[in-house]
Structure 1
């Protein structure tokens, strides 16, 4: 698909459309949509910004590539003076005091925020059903889940309510909903984009990333948000990825895939057959394909959730209604804390907090948590060896197609296992892109650390091949 950002930029510059009309059309679509993607609309701000873009064009001034482009924001990012609820009762009336670095960079580039988007509460879920705003409905089939936790963001892009959206990916929360809704979703190398202003879920794997309808739009937004930030010490300086550089795929000679993923009992025959058919097409293009050994998917899921639950218990300990949040008074301070957290956190959030506190408690931290840290190191080392043999790793995004709304809530374990093919790359802190081709829920393209450009190159190759 062609770049929507380039197309709209040309239309604005040629005065074929006005920015105000474009923004109003998108706002109207968001207001009338029945997919539960909207937590709050930023109507006044968006229209004010659109008028300024129109005034610049009217005066004959140049506008930047992202200037006037409407986008959505997952409701876990701070945007000053807007409601930032994390789709939770605890923060349903909370207004941001500042703006996240990644979002500020987009504002500085002239992009126009339209909406704070529905998601699993605090990012806890893989279906966008754990939310006070109602389950997000799939863009293709509204009986199915939208995926999670960035479900609202993916559906808004798929339905053309936003040109792109900013999701958050901890264990697959951009890639999985992108796959479920047939759009592109990118989790960059950990540290490429600042996490400052993103509500922390699991700090060691949280990533900011774009969801869009083409690799070119992913590239544009990625460049705008990337870079070192003094407010996030895990960030690093990164070079701009040019449009020309990702068109040259001659550097990609070898692709690998994990035997354990494809031979697993968990994968559906539909996903398996279409993935192997894709591998045959890649071989036919003269690229060598290697079969790799890896950890069992159950091991990846258990390692990820061990660490993620421990980190979320720590990160959410600050939310007790004292400094911010929906405080519920009890008979004493301890009672107030207990009632506030019990009544305001979702069942899934409480499950993760209780599990995390158990993992970090005396007698369990050495037995389980430290083993999880050791396994993560082994997983990262395994990836380093694999990328000495192959340039790119290809995998299904999910082992199965999206479940019906309600099914995941009845079976939390099944929901965790739906992340089986995404969490390993999060533990390795690797750049990974979902492309809506190759299987019913797309393909996952992964590169070695900092090889984000190579991932986009191979995505362009697959676009032309499949």
Structure 2
């Protein structure tokens, strides 16, 4: 699909449509909430902003490329004055006091927020079922999960309820639901976009990521949100990716894939067959393809969840109902903390907090947590070595097709293993893009750190190859 942002922009400029009518149309699509993607609508704000865009156009003023473009926001981002619930009981009445940097940059560019989108509570899940707002339904088949944790964001884009949405990716939470719903989803290089105002899950791998139906729209939104932020010391200054620069892939001569991903007993035979077919089509275009050795997928999953659970236990320790949240009073302060957290956290969130506290506890931290940190360093080094040999790494997004709603809740381990092909790139803090081609759940393209442009280039190449 060609850029919806460019198309809508031109229609607005030519006065073929009004911004108010566009926003009303999208809100009408969102209101029935047929796929459980909506936590709250920002209709009043959206219509006010749309009126201002129409006024500018009517007076002959020039509007920016993103002005008037409707978008969605995963409900883990602060947007001043809006409910920011993280799809949890604990924060179901919480209103943001400020706006996340990445979202503010989009607002400054004139994009219009429509909806706070459903997700796994605090980002804890891979199916968007761990939510107080009801399981997100897949855009293609409502009996299947929408993927997680940014399921609502991916489904809204796939159903054309939003032009683009902003998800959050910690271990695959943008890429996996993008694959489940046949859209593009990018996890940029860690630090390229500020995390300020994003509720922290695992601070060392959390990334702000755009979801859209075209590579060009991903590029536009990525450029808008990128940049150094004094409120997030992990951010850095990055170069803008030009439109023309991603149209040619002549400098990509070699592609690698991890053979143990494909040889794994966990991979669905159909996904394996489709992936190998895609590899053959890439070879036919004269690109060298190399099979690479890598850590086993169960090692990646255990390393990721060891570190992620430790970080989430630490990050969520502040949520006890004292300063904000749905406080439940008891006989004493300690009991109040206990009841508030027990009653308001989902089973999955409690599972991750307990696991994280275990990992960090005396007698276990040296044996488990520090070992996880050492393995993460080895994984990063392995990636550095790989990118000395190949330009791009290509992999399936998931080993299996989307499960039916309810199945993941019965088997948390299976849910964790669905992240087997995404978490490694999170640990390496690498730019990774899901493209809706190649297999039933798409393909994942990865480049070296701060080489986000390269994954967009290769994605454009694949459009005409697969």
Give the shorter-chain TM-score range.
over 0.9
Per the normalisation by structure 1, the TM-score is 1.00
CA distance in 2, matches of 1:436, 1:249: 19
Q: Residues 174-231 of structure 1: CA distance to partner in whole angstroms, max 9, x if unpaired? A: 0000000000000000000000000000000000010000000000000000000000
1:151 aligns with 2:167: no
* Partner in structure 2 of residue 24 of structure 1: 24
Q: Aligned to 2:321, what secondary structure does the other structure show?
A: coil
Partner of 1:454: 454
CA distance in 2, matches of 1:73, 1:421: 25
Which residue number corresponds to residue 250 of structure 1? 250
1:309 counterpart residue number: 309
Write the mapping of 1:177-256 to structure 2, written as runs, cut at 5 A: 177-256=177-256
Deviation at 1:464, TM superposition (A): 1.3
- Corresponding position: 1:65 with 2:65: yes
Name the counterpart of 2:420: 420
RMSD between superposed Cα atoms in Å: 0.3
1:373 aligns with 2:368: no
Deviations 1:391-450 (A, max 9, x none): 000000000100000000000000000000000000000000000000000000000000
Distance 1:330 1:239 in 2: 53
Rounded to whole Å, the distance in 2 between the matches of 1:335 and 1:387 is 52
What SS does the corresponding residue of 1:372 show, helix, strand or coil? helix
The equivalent residue for 1:294 is 294
Cα distance in 2 between the residues matched to 1:284 and 1:253: 12
Partner in structure 2 of residue 399 of structure 1: 399
Equivalence for 1:176? 176
Structure 1 gaps of 5+ residues are none
> Residue 123 of structure 1 corresponds to which residue in structure 2?
123
| Partners of 1:32 and 1:233 in 2: CA distance | 41
In structure 2, the residue matched to 1:91 is 91
Aligned counterpart, 2:325:
325
More displaced, 132-141 or 29-38?
29-38
Residue 431 of structure 1 is matched in structure 2 by 431
Residue of structure 2 in register with 1:33 after alignment: 33
In the aligned structure 1, how far is the partner of 2:32 from the partner of 2:362? 52
Give distance in 2, aligned partners of 1:328 and 1:249. Answer: 57
Name the CA distance, whole Å, in 1 between partners of 2:220 and 2:270.
33
Could you give the per-residue CA deviations for residues 296-327 of structure 1, whole angstroms, max 9, x where no partner exists? Answer: 00000000000000000000000000000000
* 1:352 maps to 2:366: no
Secondary structure in 2 matching 1:389: coil
**Residue 32 (structure 1) shift:** 1.6
Instruction: Give the distance between the partners of 2:64 and 2:240, measured in 1 at CA.
Output: 16
- In 2, the alpha carbon distance for the partners of 1:338 and 1:397 equals 38
Deviations 1:14-50 (A, max 9, x none): 0000000000000010002310000000000000000
After TM superposition, give the deviation of residue 248 of structure 1 in Å: 1.4
Instruction: String of CA shifts for 1:332-390, please: whole Å, max 9, x gaps.
Output: 00000000000000000000000000100000000100000000000000000000000
Which of structure 1's runs of 4+ aligned residues deviate more than 3 A? Answer: none
Equivalent position of 1:111 in the other structure: 111
Gaps of 5+ in 2: none
State the secondary structure of the residue aligned to 2:388: helix
Aligned to 2:390: 390
Shift of 1:144: 0.1
The residue aligned with 1:463 is 463
Provide the rounded CA distance (Å) in 2 between the counterparts of 1:106 and 1:324: 27
1:235 Cα deviation (Å)?
0.1
Q: Number of residue pairs matched?
A: 466
**SS of residue matched to 1:388:** coil
Secondary structure of the residue that 1:221 maps to in structure 2?
helix
2:408 corresponds to:
408
What is the aligned partner in structure 2 of residue 273 from structure 1? 273
For residues 245 and 464 of structure 1, what CA distance do their matches in structure 2 show? 17
SS at 1:114 equivalent: strand
Q: Distance in 2 between matches of 1:462 and 1:73?
A: 28
- Paired residue secondary structure (2:250): coil
